[in-house]
Amino acid sequence: MLVLPVVKEGVLESTPRPIKNAGAYRLYWETATPPGTAVRLQVRCAATKETLAGAVFVGADGTAEKFFEESGATFHVAQTGFLQYRVVMTTHDPSRSPCLKRVVVSQKD
């Protein structure tokens, strides 16, 4: 019998996306989250792809300790350049896992 370890957390980082305008943006996502599971996101921005790799992912309050936990959240981009988001998916029940269906980042009107 083969017994595989249970993974309780998984992380997905998007490819860098160009940001042409500074300002307010919205972060939307669609998930399926059975009881005992969660999906949270963070973002990071930088002027170039090279500096993006060293930038810190941040959540709703602008710190690395917090996450965006509600779809439709607003965040501010201070400069043009590149944006990347990170998705953290967790489960407390090894028989269930969350499913990320899509993520949309759009400039707020």
Predicted confidence (pLDDT) per residue in 85-102, tens digit? 999 999 998 888 999 999
84 or 4: which leads in pLDDT: 84
The domains of the chain, with CATH numbers, are: 9-107 (2.60.120)
Dihedral sign, Cα of residue 19, residue 17, residue 55, residue 99 = positive
Q: How many CA atoms lie within 13 A of 60 on its CB side?
A: 11
- Give every CB contact of residue 52 below 8 A, 6+ residues apart in sequence: 16, 44, 45, 46, 81, 82, 84
What's the pLDDT score for residue 4? 60
Predicted confidence (pLDDT) per residue in 17-43, tens digit? 999 999 999 999 999 999 999 999 999
What's the pLDDT score for residue 5? 66
Mean pLDDT value across the chain: 93
